[in-house]
Amino acid sequence: MDIATVVGILSSFGLVAAAIAMGSGLELFINLPSLMIVVGGTLGATMINYPLKEVLGVFKIVQNALLVKTVGVRELITRFVELANKARREGILSLESEMEGLKDEFFQKGLQLSIDGLEPEQIREIMETELDFVRNRHQLGAEVFTTMGTFAPAMGMIGTLIGLVQMLQSMDDPSSIGPSMAVALLTTFYGSLLANIVCMPIAGKLRTRSKEETLAKEMTIQGVISLSKGENPRVLEQKLLAFLPVKQR
Amino acid sequence: MDIATVVGILSSFGLVAAAIAMGSGLELFINLPSLMIVVGGTLGATMINYPLKEVLGVFKIVQNALLVKTVGVRELITRFVELANKARREGILSLESEMEGLKDEFFQKGLQLSIDGLEPEQIREIMETELDFVRNRHQLGAEVFTTMGTFAPAMGMIGTLIGLVQMLQSMDDPSSIGPSMAVALLTTFYGSLLANIVCMPIAGKLRTRSKEETLAKEMTIQGVISLSKGENPRVLEQKLLAFLPVKQR
Amino acid sequence: MDIATVVGILSSFGLVAAAIAMGSGLELFINLPSLMIVVGGTLGATMINYPLKEVLGVFKIVQNALLVKTVGVRELITRFVELANKARREGILSLESEMEGLKDEFFQKGLQLSIDGLEPEQIREIMETELDFVRNRHQLGAEVFTTMGTFAPAMGMIGTLIGLVQMLQSMDDPSSIGPSMAVALLTTFYGSLLANIVCMPIAGKLRTRSKEETLAKEMTIQGVISLSKGENPRVLEQKLLAFLPVKQR
Amino acid sequence: MDIATVVGILSSFGLVAAAIAMGSGLELFINLPSLMIVVGGTLGATMINYPLKEVLGVFKIVQNALLVKTVGVRELITRFVELANKARREGILSLESEMEGLKDEFFQKGLQLSIDGLEPEQIREIMETELDFVRNRHQLGAEVFTTMGTFAPAMGMIGTLIGLVQMLQSMDDPSSIGPSMAVALLTTFYGSLLANIVCMPIAGKLRTRSKEETLAKEMTIQGVISLSKGENPRVLEQKLLAFLPVKQR
Amino acid sequence: MDIATVVGILSSFGLVAAAIAMGSGLELFINLPSLMIVVGGTLGATMINYPLKEVLGVFKIVQNALLVKTVGVRELITRFVELANKARREGILSLESEMEGLKDEFFQKGLQLSIDGLEPEQIREIMETELDFVRNRHQLGAEVFTTMGTFAPAMGMIGTLIGLVQMLQSMDDPSSIGPSMAVALLTTFYGSLLANIVCMPIAGKLRTRSKEETLAKEMTIQGVISLSKGENPRVLEQKLLAFLPVKQR
């Protein structure tokens, strides 16, 4: 779980909670029917929108995006240089024994293709097809969360309208008007919170993550192809460094 | 009817109804003139916007999208491998007898073209033209629903303005202000409900469905062309599997 | 005037009027200054935006789009097949006598070019240039109405603000607050009505109409070129049918 | 100053003023602090956004767009035909004496290049580079006004919030609530007016004007090149007429 | 720090402060919990959205954009002409001693490549890759600030909803309603201020700055390549002037 996400979630939710606590008890802001309408309604509209399998799959993607650390690009380069050195000394087949140590499936698969002796062009084609699927999956994830972030405030408004209509219909007791309206506004509050602190930032995170992962995977493709061509480890390093901004080289 | 849609509709409408029922009777939320303005006005504006034939056609498309299950892509591949095996053993003309069993018209038509002995390039051209029409029809459907989802809240606001103006003009009896305003807000409520629980999710569903169907139809085109070239069943299978994400292969 | 437009206008305006009449007299909703601000202000802003000639031209385009029926594409094909048959039997010059019967200027012009013996490529170039101008004119029309649909609600809000400020400045007589505010809200009501029942649907209609007319004109170009090449009437028919979706053929 | 702009400004501002005057005195709608926040704040935000030089340059562009009439395209054609006739009779160098009479700098420059005997391709390149700069300047102008039209309502809301907060803090005298709130709303009123009657229509006008000027300049480039090639005046006229819609030829 | 930015910030914040001071004390508009929610919540949501490193890097970019003056394009041309003259007289290696005097790293690096004797095409490739990274960094900066400008008003609304709910729950003392609501509105005020006077204008400034810097860097690339080709100083000057609008040459 990367630090920015932790800091972000803590500061957002923490500050909202702190601001509430300064003025009243937190329990004033908990209302089950409101929560049902916003969360349930948003999920419902999303489920009409996307196939069930994809909605469920999205949560897995989010979990990965928030918890799994991306492979550092520097480590990736170091790893490839080691492999290239070993391949130079002992032949490409010797990399077979290194497969175990790789945690990244995509890397593993590319290396396997290389050891199997496929042509560099075939390796590139196979790996880029897979990269496309990964990218599409991330884009779909960001899209689902953007959709949810659009439905959530609408559901909040629907809930508030329900509360207002009910309150306006029975205004016999003036003292109950305030609290009734407070409860009605909670739904808008939930909708706004769900959209702006949960859905939209996560959609942004998935887009950012997709860019990082695409970069790492493109470097992996380049590295595997260099390996399979038996290029000099220094040349391989230079080619991979070209993917990084100047200051990070 | 796929499960996600059922769950989505149930949870959305169910939760809204449940939330209402917790606070008052449901009959409080039924108001004919409001319903007339929102539903009638939205349909009216849509009918100015699109030719009558297309508006009516859209409801058929929605019905299909919600009720008809798409052919599973795996079954499609299995089916093509069977056909390819039979064509290998008994010649392509033997597939004539298999035509009956195909429920998908597009598949049937492609197979017919193949049996008729057209050149693969001609088959591709004819089938892709038809695929374009199908895709356009779906896109038009999604567009019509997006348009409706834009008009519905506007109609809701128009209705609420009517109610407010009428209420403000006759404020003699203070006790009637609340209920009058409640009724005025119902139109906004209907507009919001129509847009966010009906129109927008259905527009999204049509877009999703269009992608799925396009994929299935592209696989069908590839399969029919492989058949008409008399390719090896295993080669045909590999070519069709390439359309699927790695994990689903 | 096509049926959908009639139905759409009737249902939209009719329903709004009916909903008003159910609660009060219609005269409550007529207010000259409000109407002046919304309609005048919207036209004014549009006239700063576009040259006078184009704003005036747009009303002609709308009149055409609402009243003139597009030539049915089926009739167009029938017409071309008749002409092709006649040209086959009696030579292309014999089509001179058919010119009278054509109501569509574009068709007439194309036929003239064909009779004059221009090369097919020259005919295509001349006719496509004209088609571009027609398409641009329609797009400009849709753009002008979209702009108006954006200004109208803003003018509505400006008018309502004027009313509110005046009301708030003189609140001596509490009984006049309600009616004053009702009048203030009327401007927002007019702006919303103008945008959502008039401008936006008409902009949509012009876009739809543009697509239909472009299709008809593209078929006319293809037909005229086939005529000038002296192609077989059946071939000509096949080529034109290819422009239609399968079910309509 | 073209008529549409005059009519537009008169009708917009005039109608707003008339509507105000019908209900109260105009002085009720003048409030200096509100004006300061909206106009000053909008200009301030725009100056952070764009370099000072460009913000100032924009006002010059607007002045031109509103006051200077574009050269009529018909006159332009007549002018070129005259020049071509003279060049035919007396040689291209004789056009030197015509330079004085040209008000359009771009035309003058092109003619000079032609008299200097540059190759047509060089002339085209030089003139198109300059056309690009003109077009960019206009686009920048439209962009600056669109930005201002986005900031103005936001500044209006900020001002209204200031007024509301101050009013709510001191509600001892109920009779002052109305007027205080009226003043607070004025800022929103100014922001809306500035955006919808000034900034947005002018941004639109600059876009329209840019299209017109680009057309005239493209015709000038074509004309100058025809001149420098010594083409027949009738051919030159035909080539320039092709830039106009059919009805205007 | 360029003048427009100073003027912009002074006029925006100054006018808001002046408008406040005219009606009440400034201290009325300071509220810590509101500030915490808006600033903290906006930063929090942004940190979920982007990696921590990039959020922090953005502040450096803004500092540069606001404080560091871009190299004037005219000076750049003068500098290149001097260098070209010296290179002509004393050979390109003599430029080694000029390196010190260059403040622009990008210029320095390009000159070094040129002195090292790389081929012009290689120099172009290396420098354009670096230009791409600079451009991406600026675009990312503008994107981050646009995102913050979207979250800020949402956070403002969330804070206001919290205040309203708390106020409505405890309306025993009517005299406290006004001040409570005033405090609730402050959060919306902060959100609006942060978005429209800080985030959005800075995002615009970064986009503008990116264009200026890209122009300067493209001129530098062209200049360095001319140097390394040993082109005539006058030719070099002409080539660089072509990057400027006609009036500035």
Per residue in C214-237, pLDDT (tens digit) is 888 999 999 999 998 888 888 888
Q: Count CB atoms within 10 A of the CB of residue C47.
A: 26
The confidence score (pLDDT) of residue C249 equals 67
pLDDT band for C69, please (50, 70, 90 cuts): low
Evaluated on CA atoms B184, B185, B190, B191, the torsion sign reads positive
pLDDT band for E249, please (50, 70, 90 cuts): low
B11 at interface of A, judged by CB pairs closer than 8 A? yes
CB contacts, 8 Å: C179 with chain B: 168-169
Query: Residue A87: exposed, middle, or buried by beta-carbon count in 10 A (0-12, 13-18, 19+)?
Result: buried
| D neighbour chains, 3+ CB pairs within 8 Å | C, E
Q: What span, in angstroms and rounded, lies between the C-alpha atoms of B156 and B190?
A: 7
CB contacts, 8 Å: D45 with chain E: 8, 12, 196-197, 200-201
Contact A106, A130 (CB under 8 A): yes
Query: How many angstroms separate the CA of residue C118 from the nearest CA in chain B?
Result: 31
Radius of gyration of the CA atoms of chain C, in A:
26
A103: helix, strand or coil: coil
The confidence score (pLDDT) of residue B156 equals 95
Contact D192 C158 (CB under 8 A): yes
**Of all residues in chain C, what percent carry a pLDDT higher than 90?**
25
| Residue-wise pLDDT tens digits, D77-112 | 999 999 999 988 888 888 888 888 787 888 988 999
State the 10-residue block means of pLDDT for chain A, 249 residues long: 72 86 84 90 89 81 74 85 90 84 85 89 88 84 93 95 89 80 93 93 89 88 90 88 75
- Mean pLDDT (whole number) for C11-15: 85
Residue B216 CB contacts under 8 Å (≥ 6 apart), including other chains: B70, B71, B73, B76
Q: Report the half-sphere exposure of D214 (CA within 13 A, side-chain side).
A: 15
**pLDDT reading at C66 higher than 80:** no
Residue ranges of B 80-139 with Cβ closer than 8 A to chain C: 129-130, 133, 137
The confidence score (pLDDT) of residue D187 equals 95
Residue D15 CB contacts under 8 Å (≥ 6 apart), including other chains: C36, C37, C40, C41, C44
Most confident of B113-127, E71-85, E141-155: E141-155
Contact A94, A227 (CB under 8 A): no
Nearest-by-CA chain B residue for C28: B166
Contact A51 B4 (CB under 8 A): yes
Q: What span, in angstroms and rounded, lies between the C-alpha atoms of B104 and A125?
A: 32
Chains D, E: CB pairs < 8 Å: 129
CB contacts, 8 Å: B189 with chain A: 158, 161-162, 165
Buried b (16+ CB within 10 A) or exposed e, B195-227: bbbbbbbbbbbbbbbbeebeebbebbbbbbbbb
Query: How many angstroms separate the CA of residue D199 from the nearest CA in chain C?
Result: 10
Q: How confident is the prediction for chain E on average, in pLDDT? A: 86
Nearest to C204 among B49, B167, B171 (CB): B49
pLDDT band for E246, please (50, 70, 90 cuts): low
Q: Where are the alpha helices (DSSP H) in B91-119?
A: 105-115
Contact B147, C146 (CB under 8 A): no
Dihedral through CA D21, CA B158, CA B183, CA D189, nearest 10? Answer: -40
CB contacts, 8 Å: E48 with chain A: 4-5, 8-9, 12, 201-202, 204-205
Nearest Cα residue to D151 out of C147, C48, C150, E200: E200
Q: Report the alpha-carbon angle D112-D118-D124, nearest 5.
A: 85
Nearest to A41 among B5, B15, B182 (CB): B15
| Residue-wise pLDDT tens digits, B174-201 | 778 888 888 899 999 999 999 999 899 9
Q: What span, in angstroms and rounded, lies between the C-alpha atoms of E130 and E137?
A: 11
Token pair of D42 as six digits: 């909008």
Most confident of A21-30, A113-122, B227-236, E146-155: E146-155
**Of all residues in chain D, what percent carry a pLDDT higher than 70?**
96
C197 at interface of B, judged by CB pairs closer than 8 A? yes
- Mean pLDDT check: name the lowest of C52-61, D178-187, D188-197, E180-189: C52-61
Query: Residue D107: exposed, middle, or buried by beta-carbon count in 10 A (0-12, 13-18, 19+)?
Result: buried
**pLDDT reading at E86 higher than 70:** yes
**pLDDT reading at C187 higher than 90:** yes
Q: What span, in angstroms and rounded, lies between the C-alpha atoms of E29 and E27?
A: 5
A56 at interface of B, judged by CB pairs closer than 8 A? no
pLDDT band for B70, please (50, 70, 90 cuts): low
Contact A88, A233 (CB under 8 A): yes
Residue found by looking up tokens 């300064």 in the block: A22
Residue B120 CB contacts under 8 Å (≥ 6 apart), including other chains: B225, B228, B229
Query: How many angstroms separate the CA of residue C95 from the nearest CA in chain B?
Result: 33
Chains A, B: CB pairs < 8 Å: 129
**pLDDT reading at C68 higher than 90:** no
Nearest-by-CA chain A residue for B177: A168
Nearest Cα residue to A37 out of B193, B26, B12: B12
| C neighbour chains, 3+ CB pairs within 8 Å | B, D
Contact C205 B49 (CB under 8 A): yes
D31: left (phi over 0), alpha (psi -120 to 50) or beta: beta
**pLDDT reading at D56 higher than 80:** yes
Nearest-by-CA chain E residue for D41: E12
Nearest to B178 among A155, A157, A168 (CB): A168
**pLDDT reading at C1 higher than 60:** no
The confidence score (pLDDT) of residue A164 equals 92
Nearest Cα residue to C27 out of C166, C182, C152, C181: C182
Residue D202 CB contacts under 8 Å (≥ 6 apart), including other chains: C48, D62, D65, D145
**Of all residues in chain B, what percent carry a pLDDT higher than 90?**
25
The confidence score (pLDDT) of residue E69 equals 67
The confidence score (pLDDT) of residue B247 equals 67
Q: What span, in angstroms and rounded, lies between the C-alpha atoms of B35 and B24?
A: 20
Contact A166, B21 (CB under 8 A): no
| B neighbour chains, 3+ CB pairs within 8 Å | A, C
Q: What span, in angstroms and rounded, lies between the C-alpha atoms of D227 and E150?
A: 55
E171: helix, strand or coil: coil
**pLDDT reading at D122 higher than 80:** yes
